Structure 1
Amino acid sequence: MKRRLLMMMLLGACANVQAACGTASCPVNTQWDAQGLSHDEGVRVDLRYTYARANKLRFGSKRVAPEAPAATGLEIENRRTINQLLNADIDYAVNARWKIALGLPLVIRDHAHTLDSTSGIPTPQRAEFTRLGDIRAVGSFSFDLGDSHSGSGVRLGLKLPTGSTTQNMDAQDPADPPGTPYALERSAQPGTGTTDLILGAYYYHELADSPWGWFTSIQGQTALNHHQDFQPGDDVVVDLGTRYAFTRQLTGLLQVNAHYRDRDNGLEAEPTSGGYSLNLSPGLSFAVARQTRIYGFVQLPLYQYVYVDKAEANFGQLTAPWTLSLGISQSF
């Protein structure tokens, strides 16, 4: 039980969006790839807080400075996006093979930029909100490998369109008629408005009579429909990780997370969307009780590449230099 719980602290997937205004990074989370292997039957609740401040503008893989206003009518990403996520993952193990999981996200976002209005009046704009995001429902099946030190499985689920897609900036474009709202770009909304298919697989191995263990996993997500001329890009994450038990309570964790996201599609999609990254995520897990663990990760990007509109030099994407995740996991 303890070894399985330690491994669960490693099996994470990235749920991220690379967008022009820096809507997210690639946080390690506890929507575990094995979906509840910390218990053979019963319920596990995981509460997690994630923080990322996207304030580094990139064009491809290079850091660039924002352009000066020139009445282009475009948004100049010259400020920041603060992304915070409160997520509750509820896993129910029907038996040793079948598990179901529900992810409930609360999105807290503060985005600010300058609108390069065609009126010639550069206009600071800000969107700040706390809203329910897109709920995920995932089922998983674990294979019997005939080895108590190894495990593998597959998962299948849906991301549901429960998050809002109608948030606005606080100031309108001076070139528009008075009272005209200015919509926050679609990739920065609390939800996408689409139903997405989630597919994944994982494998882990614990070294016999050793404090070491390792895992690998892959997860993909693709939208099944458009919503109001918008469809998020396909998303793929590959994880490789290891752990080391320093004591019965304290475990060191280390992950390498590779993430790819295709460009968003549709008339409402930004040309500066999508990209890929390689991230290093060290962390610690501590058992405060037999069925209770607290944990923390810091994620550091080793390489970041964002897709941009090559017709508009220096209109890139905001990226985060680091991400922090803290949580508590309780089994019942």
Structure 2
Amino acid sequence: MSSTRDTTELFKPGGLIRPIIAASATSLATLFLAFGWLVGGTTTEANACACGCSVFDVSGLDIMPQEQDHGGRIFFEYWSQDQTQNYVGSSKAAAALNTDKEIKTSWYNVGLSYNFNRDWGIMIRVPITADRSLTTETDFMFPGQIQTFNAKSFGDLEVMGVYTGFSQDMSTGLIFGLKLPTGTYTALGMDRDNQIGTGSTDLILGAFHRGLLSGDNAWQYFTQFVWRQPFAYGQAADPQGFFDGNLGVVQTYHPGMQIDGAIGIVYNNWYNVLGFDKITPLGQIIVSHRDTDSGTGADPLNSGFDRVMVSPGIEFTNVLNEANKYVLKTYVDVEVPIYYRATSANNAGTEGQLVAPYLLKVTSSFNF
């Protein structure tokens, strides 16, 4: 079965009504949950320096199985961002206001997803390496002293189930699972909101839908959202007592709830170009909200955000073995903030949140 024929059969015009009806709740939930805080004028705060890296889960096509995606999928992900611009409220602010100067992070994830049938599947994401550097004022020995601290370790593991039984073409689905506290949260020189791991167990709930915009299958749309709710928390001794002179004091840290939503348009009719069996460009809008952190190790006065990002992306597909359905896909997108609201207030001489000018996501996957 050719790649062209698979995709055409997946989105027959005659099968359009049922998937759209089945997905209406998902689309409405995405719009309400993702955009509600922005238009509602929330005063909720959220994490000042935490990365908000769950946004990567809702960008692009790789989270959504398709009708021909039976069996398994092995994937590798590279996520990257470099937080350098200080924000106070919805405006850029002077770097001097914030004792943190730069937070640079790269994630290297491997994972496996497997569709047992058209209804049920599972996905496991293993952050084999998370690499973060924090450049900050320590005031250790000399006021205003700048130091850079590095942490490199295993990240927080995710295990999720996927249900796609709403329609024959698997275009609408639910995800549910847990993020486990497997990443380090005691690295020297980093506050709890800058650690690689959160130290929390998080409930993950989400949904996605993909549908037609044109009867010839050339234009499609998709919508996704993922909600993460921490519910179990790990305490840890303060690993950098030189900031406040209280080395070893056990601190609590409760990261805020976060929700990310995306709505996008896909061009799905570009076959046999530049040596690829298929190239799929897309454009999307990603909206995020994160609540305030709490606990003795948190900074509730400088934590949290609402943001809107625009993101162009592209997916390259090669059919390696048609008979065995071996397919190699590579997906790339860049996510650029066009609106950011960082709730901030002076807390012991520091104010603001560090924002990255763009985020980069690369995913390479092998379907079998």
TM over 0.5: yes
- 8 Å contact 2:305–2:342 — kept in the other structure? yes
| Among 221, 236, 245, the residue aligned to 2:268 | 245
**Are 2:120 and 1:98 aligned?**
yes
- 8 Å contact 2:218–2:268 — kept in the other structure? yes
Query: How does the TM-score come out when normalised to structure 1?
Result: 0.81
| Among 63, 78, 92, the residue aligned to 1:49 | 78
- Aligned counterpart, 2:176: 156
Q: CA RMSD in A?
A: 2.7
Report the number of matched residues.
298
Residue identity matched to 1:164:
T
For 1:224-269, what per-residue CA distance to the aligned partner results, in whole angstroms no more than 9, with x for missing partners? 1222111110011111011103522111111111000001111111
Deviation (angstroms), 1:130: 1.8
- Aligned counterpart, 1:223: 230
Trace 1:141-220 onto structure 2 (pairs within 5 A). Answer: 141-145=163-167, 148=169, 151-169=171-189, 184-206=190-212, 207-220=214-227
Deviation (angstroms), 1:320: 0.3
Deviation (angstroms), 1:330: 0.9
| Among 304, 310, 320, the residue aligned to 1:280 | 310
- Say which is worse superposed, 219-228 or 22-31, in terms of deviation: 22-31
- Aligned counterpart, 2:27: none
Three-state SS of the structure 2 residue aligned to 1:67 is helix
| Counterpart Cα distance in 1 of 2:164 and 2:227 | 18
**Are 2:238 and 1:234 aligned?**
no
| Counterpart Cα distance in 1 of 2:196 and 2:67 | 30
**Are 2:116 and 1:131 aligned?**
no
Three-state SS of the structure 2 residue aligned to 1:294 is strand
Trace 1:34-73 onto structure 2 (pairs within 5 A). Answer: 34=64, 36-37=65-66, 39-67=68-96
Distance 1:30 1:243, change over 3 A: closer
| Counterpart Cα distance in 2 of 1:100 and 1:58 | 38
| Counterpart Cα distance in 2 of 1:86 and 1:97 | 29
| Counterpart Cα distance in 1 of 2:285 and 2:99 | 32
Deviation (angstroms), 1:311: 5.4
| Counterpart Cα distance in 2 of 1:125 and 1:324 | 26
- Aligned counterpart, 2:238: none
Distance 1:122 1:40, change over 3 A: closer
Residue identity matched to 2:92:
R
For 1:282-324, what per-residue CA distance to the aligned partner results, in whole angstroms no more than 9, with x for missing partners? 0111113340111210111110111223556761010001112
- Aligned counterpart, 2:364: 328
Q: Identity, % of aligned pairs?
A: 27
- 8 Å contact 1:263–1:307 — kept in the other structure? no
Runs (5+) with no aligned partner, structure 1: 8-12, 69-74, 170-183
| Among 127, 130, 137, the residue aligned to 1:107 | 130
For 1:63-100, what per-residue CA distance to the aligned partner results, in whole angstroms no more than 9, with x for missing partners? 111337xxxxxx712x2111111112310111111010
Distance 1:266 1:38, change over 3 A: farther
- 8 Å contact 2:207–2:225 — kept in the other structure? yes
| Counterpart Cα distance in 2 of 1:38 and 1:163 | 34
- 8 Å contact 2:79–2:106 — kept in the other structure? yes
- Aligned counterpart, 1:300: 336
| Counterpart Cα distance in 2 of 1:288 and 1:328 | 11
- Say which is worse superposed, 307-316 or 206-215, in terms of deviation: 307-316
- 8 Å contact 1:22–1:54 — kept in the other structure? no
For 1:51-73, what per-residue CA distance to the aligned partner results, in whole angstroms no more than 9, with x for missing partners? 211100001111111337xxxxx
Distance 1:31 1:253, change over 3 A: closer
| Counterpart Cα distance in 2 of 1:46 and 1:311 | 42
Moved over 3 A (4+): 1-4, 18-34, 36-40, 310-314
- Aligned counterpart, 2:15: none
Runs (5+) with no aligned partner, structure 2: 12-29, 35-45, 236-251, 272-277, 321-326
Residue identity matched to 1:211:
A
